[in-house]
Structure 1
Amino acid sequence: MTPSRLQLSALSFSIAVAFMSAGPAVMAVESAAPAVAKSANVPAGLSLVHEVEGIKEYLMPNGLRVLLVPDASKPTTTVNITYRVGSRHENYGETGMAHLLEHLMFKGSKAHPRLWEELAQRGVNFNGTTWLDRTNYYETFAAKPETLAWAIAMEADRMVNSRISGADLKTEFSVVRNEMEKNENSPTSVLMQRVLSAAHQWHNYGKDTIGARSDVENVSIPHLQAFWRKYYQPDNAVLIVAGAFDHQATLKLISQHFGKIPKPTRVIEPTYTLDPAQDGERDVVVRRTGESPSVIALYHTMPAAHPDYAATEALAVILGDSPNGRLYKTLVESKKAAEVFPWAANLEEPGFMLLGANLRSEQNLDEAKKILIETIEGVAQDPVTADELKRAKANLENNLAQVFNDPEKFAVSLSDSIGNGDWRLFFLYRDRMRALTLDDVQRVATTWLKPSNRTTGRFIPEAQAVRAPAPAKVVLAEQINTFKPGVAMAQAENFVSTPDNIDKRTQNGALSNGLKYALLPKTTRGNTVVLNMEINLGDESSLQGKANDASLACAMLSRGTETLSHRQFSEQLDQLKAKLQISGTVSAATITLETTRENLARALELVRDALRKPAFGEAEFTQLITAQLAQLEESRKDPQAIAIDMARKATNTWPAGDARYYRSIEEKIAQLKAAKLADAKAFWQAFYGANHAQLAIVGDFDATAIKAQLQRDFGDWQAKQPFTRLTKPFVAVQPAALSQITPDKANAFFFGTLNLPVSDRHPDYAALTLGNYLLGGSANSRILERIRQKDGISYGGGSFIDVSPIDEAGSFAVGAIFAPQNRAKLETGLREEIARVLKDGFSTAELAEGKKSLIQQAQLNRSQDAGLAQTLAYNLYLGRTMQFDATLEKKIMALTNADVKAVLNKYLGYDKMLTVVAGDFK
């Protein structure tokens, strides 16, 4: 079942701090390039200082730098502000202070005392992240001048007027602690942090951004406020506005709101601590509850601004990419590990390259470690080849294109380059990557990939150490002076994503075999195009006992074709700047493709071959089984996975073997161990075909040419087995309270669910959608307000509904993460908030603001091409147009408090749910 596009699960909402390639920002680049002459159209106080490939940088007298990144191809706008402060800038006793401030900055400011509520009212997608060298906040919303004006005014106000109070700190500390405990639940994440700590002797890059528990617990408000006043100032920030907006009006707004903030008189001292050259191997062992072993090797390298940094990125791909990297061949293909992963950290000061592998419990960790090290350091004796470098460049170029062609991703990604010293490093890195030679990559490998520069295992003394050079900073201005801007990307059309306009622009039709298609051609930034294809499979009788075969058959389709190996197939996708994903259930397969106009035809041919001519190789099948087993075995210890698994098992009413039967984690593991390649291949041969499929394409493409290609590639493809939709009638959930102990897990999970006799055509659906949104489906919901903002006991939680578009059957669920000792308080809070809504409903203002936010969220979702393609394909299956969305929105806008209250009372109730809690409740 596909959820309504008006739904927003609060479970997915978080202010995330995790391992990610990001960095700080020291903008000492005034001499890096000559200033651009001031334009007469620029408001007073703003100077145009740089213009690169369509991006304009302005400087204000108070030191604020402003980047305008225009793109009218999608009716969305992103406002991102990056502060040049992260955990690197924290002193003794201050660890976690930058991250704690990130949380407190959402508590409100002088002009915006209830900031979360205001963000939610406007249907804004918002977030904030803290990393080693920088902190950023961003808002993405449907392009509306009034929302843009509000966002700019809000960011200016909270820059200097945020409420950094003791009361807020008291409640938010529990949330941060809950986040700490959540991160502690992942053995691989813990191992990665311990390796980073062991690798850095003095530098703050070895400290976890979230901070030491003792520092966070004992931080004082005056100390925190002093840290905030020092770093949250205009001369330490870069404001980015990207997407669809009026250039002059935006500059005027920025001048109006940020211009009145004075330039501070304080001085931010540059950091100068660097580690010496590492003088021998270091080793870390982490012992925790879990199923899947991991091994990691880390090597110190250079800053992101260094000319050699691009070579480290290429090396990371050459060694750690799946399925083309050397480690994949030596570890995964040889069945010594389940999966491998790379990370080349792009940081302002000397960084590192990290490579690792995850194993299944029966695989030998010491043997895997030995192979990992030999493969990495073996580059010195087994030089990088031209083909490897070519593949790596295509991979990196594809990743850059995926970011650059999306205004929101690009705006937020510039935080990394700003953190590394200057936003133009994004383009300088791109050019350096394109210019890489084999000699460059080989020189970097032999310089840094040495035993004495490695942190993995035990320390072993050496008679004479062979050391890598001591890491050093670079003169940023000298590096920027080598950068030559390219040609600005052409702007795309301003597409209005209303239901009427989408229907008007969409071309619907069918191939000779019955495949239905919906084509929406429009110009886009970077000439991007997305495809969504849904293939419906089998019926109740033919799918009996086929769930495991169906899952494996679907997973095998992207692992090589009759003419291309898995590695070659992946390589061609990179060359075409294409991202392909094939996933599915027992009764349907979903294919998503993202590429560009010039590569669509060839990429579509690859999709055809993946679907119609898959290789089904024995070695690939074995690797797939190993990887899936490793993931499932690890989930047996995860509280969230356990709770949901228990709930799904308890609410299952179908007999084993039925396509609708819920297979537990243990059942999936047992079936995977007994799986056979022949059975998976036989399923594909019998059930796959395009005669019961739907396909939608959105973006920059030639509709006439694509119609002809679709007919050639799929018009004669027929499934041997007929398709009949699986019905899923309503069955009431029997209330119960279940629990499960998960030893040595710092975080716990709550999950509650009940079934609903409702489809999205039901008269009560609109009220259920709005009621759930206000109760727990938004960032400003009653549930999240209670458990996070008021009680401060959960990092994330909320509710969601999922209903069928055909059967009168659906479900309501509530979930939240929490510390085990707060179980009673969490359950009390959830019970009270649900009861309060059922008794009193919502206020007039709450209802009005919720409607506005929900509709704006729907508008934002329609502007995303990937989501729109999925919607158009699903509408073909249902025989709908976008007018269904328009009608639903009208119904929502007409709802009264009495309507919503009555419907919620009709279906919901805490005591009606089956609830599960999983955690270490000792």
Structure 2
Amino acid sequence: MRIKHLALAIALSIAPAAAVWADAAPVAAAQATLSPYAVVEGISEYRLANGLRVLLAPDASKPVATINLTYLVGSRHESYGETGMAHLLEHMMFKGTGQIANVMDELSRRGFQSNASTAQDRTNYYESFPAGEENLAWALGMEADRMVNSRIDQADFDKEFSVVRNEMEKGESDPFRTLWKQLTAASFDWHNYGHNTIGARSDVEKVKMENLRAFYRKYYQPDNAVLVIGGKFDPAQALALAQNTLGKLPKPQRQLVPTWTVEPQRDGERQITVRRVGDTHMLAALYHASSGSHPDWAGLEMLDAILTDNPNGRLYKSLVNRKLAVGVWPVSMGLAEPGYVSYWLKLSKEQNSEPARKALLGTLEDFKRHPVTQQELDRARSAWLSDFSQTAADSQSLTLALTEAIAQGDWRLFFLQRDRIEALQPADVQRVAENYLKASNRTLGEYLPTAKPDRSAIPDTPDVAKMVEGYQGKAQLSQGENFDPSPANIDQRTERATLPNGAKLALLPKKTRGNTISGYFAFQFGNAANLAGKATISQLTSAMLLRGAGKLSASEISSRIDQLKASLQISGSGQNLRVGFSVQREQLPALLALIGDALKSPTFPADEFAKLKLASQSNIDSLRNNPQSQAYQSIAKRMDPYPAGDIRHFATLDEQSAALKAATLEQLKAFQREFYGAGHAQFALVGDFDAAAVKRQLGELFGDWNSRQAYSRLEEKQRADQAGSEQLQLADQANAVYFAALPLALQDDSPDYPALLVANRILGGETKSRLFQRLRQQDGLSYHAGSDLMVDSFAPVSQWILSAIYAPQNLAKIKTGVSEELARLLKDGVTAEEVADAKHSLQQARQLARAQDDTLSSALAGQLERGRTMAFSAGLERQIEALTTEQVNAALRRYLQPSQLVEAYAGDFAATAKTAKSGS
């Protein structure tokens, strides 16, 4: 529920909705009385009498519709003492109206998918649902109702406040967001773009309901909103429904006054430093820039890629290639008013900030001596346009992407920006670089990991009338320790134990910021015989565990998790059940008790089961014309060695749909009763907890809980030998997918495994890889191309996966590119430089992963299941470090057999062929 720019989206995930109160007005009347205001590339804009703008973006290719309602209000519009109000209002909009007791519950009841997010210039709400007049009418009626009738009262706020505060705390614990917040604050003297969207803690804590209601009445009105309807619907019918719901709301009498603050020109560079406990070290340079609607923004977008593209970006070459940083990325905000661009570095503990700072600023502010080249622009433009075409081809993505253009001033900017980028010349980008990327326009920020931050306590202003009673001040936040994530230290700090029934424990107590704990529990049960025919039942059973357990309903479980300031995910398939969570020290016992109830005492409510089946079927249907899904299914079906009924059998979408339809609640209840137990389970916790207390509680909860059914591990069989390719025709799909798999007789303790890890890194495991370089950087065919190793720990049954996305008309070029790169790799081998770079990046990635408590808890649980410790990881890393170029080439030639690839190509190749034929 915050910013939705680039990869920075933090949104409140809701789900499903209910009740139709839209009039069934004659469809023909809408078109007879209302003509399009503008039409661009299949999208039509209508302007209703009350000021609401309605965009229709029909797409009949998928049975899904999406509505996206954008209000032109964000943190930019907040007054003194009211920071965070736009974001807080977004939370409150899900509480209810006079007609709906609780919007979030109603959305959930209908099985809709929904999100909301708040940014600097706008707030948006969207719902996706199975296409149909009833669903569309309900969604539009609900949005009309909560636009003017939302219940905004103190009682609801008091319940929601802990959720907002926990969202704040999450941001405060994140190094990137902490530095980003302070960097923007130091960069803007007067404009609200310097405020974090979530707001000041004191403003949110002390918010006045009358102020929040006034903010709501002022901005949540039809003349300040844009509605986008995308996906499968009848345009005339949809327009009539919009007119008879949102269109019936009166046009407000008040006049909105535009914001007028203009940030003055900068007189010199600025610098800030943030010191926090942890291992993360970052540098960032922020430069003030044009608004997103200005023609200059096209050049600024190209600069992002020219500077940070991996591996051809200037910053990547000057920093990552020279081992001065481990990563570079941009954070650029194209806003309604002049915004900013920023460029970020992440450093390892061994890397020094001073040479990194010099290289960062030297590269950013040196375009006069090193002008933009045509090759740089062409490479950046090709990647951007590929991303644009993919977004425009997917109705849901397009519906949401228009939000940012709407916030900048008009939805048509989405297409205009493409035109501008297509027309750019190197001189245009050069001018933009020289104008904005200069020292006088810069704020430099550094995030320094510090074992013991030296902070000054700033007390609240006291109440003068009570001052004589004394002032106690605030309690200081608990501080984490400077933890060494090396395998040896992790093993030394980890306590391993076994419960009476055989369940295994790995407990790693350590001081963490905010007393947080990450946990991962894994359960195994059943065997090939007693699990036969129960694949769908296994998945559905796990999906029902948090929908009612003990004395709590699904809504109450969700509220309880929020009250505990925790996160909890439960998933399962086959003979596995997985539980992941995070929580603070004081709330761990209560969360463990909740997990115990969910696993041991689920109530399986019938209404929740109906919603789950509806949502699951909708998901299955959405995959039928999806290129990625269809390519994957083609491979999986051809390689599947298991007969129908075996729990390991790969089920087709039709088989999944049939099994879903046949599933009953009684089957789920029986599955939980017969199979669930902890006799073959692994429990791992990392963070601030009392190990002795945790062992006692886990013993009480799970120490005598055993499955009634016999257990034996399901051994994987070698995949069927089905070498060859299949081409799948999918109508009306602008994007195509290449997917390939190569069966390998390999497991993760095989002598060749370390060499193949490095080989995969070179082939397609990162953006510097051969496939990425060829298909994206050289040929400009693919936004994403790469490879991955899927290696088993228990048997020599593994796969080497290759994948790429591309335009259907480039099918022949994709085939040629992949074939030539594989042949070149086998003929010429890899170079010593490639091996050195791959080894370094691989080791860095492993080290960084161990520094994340959630990843570490999952790894420790996996080691318990495999009978290993971190010594295995340490040994693997020593093997990687000792590898020679000759060993990597030998392993490549031993295992990489292009003739044995099982390949699939999925896309709309018929439309491409038809276009090519008509063009000739």
With normalisation by structure 1, the TM-score equals 0.66
Aligned residue number for residue 668 of structure 2: 680
Return the match for 1:339 from 112, 131, 148: 112
**Which residue does 1:326 correspond to in 2?**
102
Q: Secondary structure at the match of 1:359?
A: strand
Contact preservation (8 Å) 1:305, 1:474? no
State the match for 2:517 in structure 1: 529
| Offset at residue 278 of structure 1 (A) | 9.7
How far is 1:379 from its partner? Answer: 2.7
Confirm or deny that 1:293 pairs with 2:275.
no
For 1:169-180, what aligned pairs fall within 5 Å after superposition? none
Q: What is the match of residue 436 of structure 2?
A: none
Q: 1:447 to 1:464 in 2, by over 3 A?
A: closer
Counterpart contact for 1:794–1:817, Cα < 8 Å: yes
C-alpha contact (below 8 Å) 2:4/2:117 kept by paired residues: no
CA distance in 2, matches of 1:516, 1:389: 43
1:707–1:467 Cα change, 3 Å: farther
Distance, in Å, in 1 between the alignment partners of 2:255 and 2:90 is 20
Letter of the aligned partner of 1:327 in structure 2? Answer: V
Residue number among 384, 387, 392 corresponding to 2:152 in the alignment: 384
Q: Match of 1:690, SS?
A: coil
SS of residue in 2 equivalent to 1:425: coil
Task: Out of 688-697 and 405-414, give the one that drifted further.
Answer: 405-414
Specify the SS of the correspondent of 1:396. helix
Cα deviation 1:298-337 (Å, max 9, x = unaligned):
3332434614563432332344489x9933433442x3xx
Cα distance in 1, alignment partners of residues 547 and 582 from structure 2: 18
- From the superposition, tell whether residues 403 and 303 of structure 1 become closer, same or farther in structure 2 (CA, over 3 Å): closer
1:906 and 1:568, CA in 2 relative to 1: closer, same or farther beyond 3 A?
A: same
Equivalent position of 2:213 in the other structure? 442
Measured at CA, do residues 463 and 287 of structure 1 come closer, stay the same or move farther in structure 2, by a change above 3 Å? Answer: closer
CA gap 1:612/1:557 in 2 versus in 1, 3 angstroms: same
CA distance in 2, matches of 1:568, 1:440: 30
- 1:149-188 to 2 correspondences below 5 Å: none
CA contact 2:789–2:800 (8 Å) conserved in 1: yes
Contact 1:492 1:525 in 2 (8 A): yes
Match in the other structure for 1:315: 89
Paired AA for residue 256 in structure 2:
A
Letter in 1 for 2:112: E
The offset of 1:836, in angstroms, is 1.3
Q: 2:836 aligns with which of 810, 826, 848?
A: 848
Whether the aligned pair in 1 keeps the contact of 2:515 and 2:585 (CA below 8 Å) is yes
Contact 2:87–2:198 (CA<8 Å) still a contact in 1? no
How many angstroms apart in 1 are the aligned matches of 2:628 and 2:176?
30
Length-normalised TM-score, structure 2:
0.66
Which shifted more, 831-840 or 652-661?
831-840
For residue 699 of structure 1, the aligned residue among 687, 690, 699 is 687
- The answer to whether residue 204 in structure 2 is matched with residue 433 in structure 1 is yes
Letter in 2 for 1:393: F
**Structure 1 residues 496-511: aligned runs within 5 Å:** 496-511=484-499
Q: Distance in 2 between matches of 1:654 and 1:766?
A: 30
Secondary structure at 2:548 match in 1: coil
- Trace 1:305-704 onto structure 2 (pairs within 5 A): 306-307=78-79, 308=82, 310-320=84-94, 326-333=102-109, 335=110, 338-347=111-120, 351-361=121-131, 364-377=134-147, 379-380=149-150, 383-408=151-176, 410-411=178-179, 421=192, 425=196, 428-456=199-227, 458=239, 460=243, 465-467=251-253, 469-470=255-256, 472-473=258-259, 489-704=477-692
One-letter code aligned to 1:286: A
What is the root-mean-square deviation in Å for CA atoms of aligned residues?
3.4
User: What is the rounded CA distance, in whole Å, between the counterparts of 2:541 and 2:252 in structure 1?
Assistant: 50
CA gap 1:463/1:493 in 2 versus in 1, 3 angstroms: closer
Distance 1:751 1:855, change over 3 A: same
Deviations 1:784-821 (A, max 9, x none): 11111111211111001111101110111100111111
Contact 1:732 1:756 in 2 (8 A): no
2:901 maps to 913
**Larger deviation: 451-460 or 602-611?**
451-460
| Structure 1 residues 435 and 635: alpha-carbon distance in aligned structure 2, compared to 1, 3 A threshold | farther
Deviations 1:316-367 (A, max 9, x none): 2344489x9933433442x3xx2242323221xxx33322222124572342
User: 1:618–1:813: structure 2 CA closer, same or farther, 3 Å change rule?
Assistant: same
Give SS of 1:285's match: strand
Shift of 1:489: 4.1
Distance in 2 between residues matched to 1:413 and 1:587, nearest whole Å = 44
Do the aligned partners of 2:642 and 2:649 also contact (CA within 8 Å) in 1? yes
Deviations 1:136-174 (A, max 9, x none): xxxxxxxxxxxxxxxxxxxxxxxxxxxxxxxxxxxxxxx
Give the whole-Å Cα distance in 1 for the aligned partners of 2:837 and 2:516: 35
Structure 1 883/474 Cα, relative in aligned 2: closer, same or farther at 3 Å? Answer: farther
Residues 130/613 of structure 1: CA separation in 2 closer, same or farther (3 Å cut): closer
Question: C-alpha separation between the residues in 1 aligned to 2:762 and 2:136?
Answer: 52
The Cα of 1:554 is off from its aligned counterpart by 0.3
User: CA offset at residue 643 of structure 1?
Assistant: 0.8
Q: Does the aligned pair in 2 maintain the 1:777–1:799 contact within 8 Å?
A: yes
* Alpha-carbon contact 2:48-2:54 (below 8 Å) kept: no
Distance 1:867 1:413, change over 3 A: farther
Residues in 2 aligned to 1:422 and 1:285: alpha-carbon distance in whole angstroms: 31
- Aligned ranges for residues 31-430 of structure 1 at < 5 Å? 279-288=50-59, 289-304=61-76, 306-307=78-79, 308=82, 310-320=84-94, 326-333=102-109, 335=110, 338-347=111-120, 351-361=121-131, 364-377=134-147, 379-380=149-150, 383-408=151-176, 410-411=178-179, 421=192, 425=196, 428-430=199-201
CA 1:359/1:21 → structure 2, altered by over 3 Å: closer, same or farther?
same
Give the letter aligned to residue 367 of structure 1: A
- Contact between 1:798 and 1:816, CA under 8 Å: does it hold in 2? yes
Give the distance between the partners of 1:824 and 1:325, measured in 2 at CA.
Answer: 56
Is the 8 Å Cα contact of residues 74 and 118 (structure 2) preserved in structure 1?
no
Evaluate the alpha carbon distance shift between residue 321 and residue 703 of structure 1 in structure 2; reply closer, same or farther with a 3 A threshold. farther
Cα 1:718–1:426 shift into 2, 3 Å:
same
Q: Are residues 563 and 607 of structure 1, via their aligned partners in 2, closer, same or farther at CA, if it must alter by over 3 Å? A: same
Q: Whole-Å Cα distance in 1 between the matches of residues 666 and 133 of structure 2?
A: 25
* Farther off after superposition, 449-458 or 498-507: 449-458
Q: Identity rate of aligned residues, in percent?
A: 31
For structure 2, the residue ranges without an aligned partner over 5 or more in a row are 10-33, 228-237, 264-457, 462-472, 913-920
435-444 vs 777-786, greater mean Cα deviation: 435-444
1:785-804 to structure 2, matched below 5 A, reads 785-804=773-792
Shift in Å, 1:375: 3.9
User: Unpaired segments of 5 or more residues in structure 1?
Assistant: 1-18, 24-127, 132-197, 214-275
Q: Which amino acid aligns with 1:329?
A: D
- Read off the aligned partner of 2:106 and give its amino acid letter: T
CA distance in 1, matches of 2:54, 2:534: 46
Q: CA deviation at 1:378?
A: 5.6
Deviation at 1:408, TM superposition (A): 4.0
In 1, Cα distance between equivalents of 2:180 and 2:623: 31
Residues in 2 aligned to 1:589 and 1:474: alpha-carbon distance in whole angstroms:
56
- Pick 1 or 2: higher relative contact order, CA cutoff 8 A, min separation 6: 1
State the one-letter code of the partner of 1:918: A
CA distance in 2, matches of 1:772, 1:878: 24
CA deviation after TM superposition for structure 1 residue 427, in Å: 7.5
Note the C-alpha offset of 1:578.
0.7
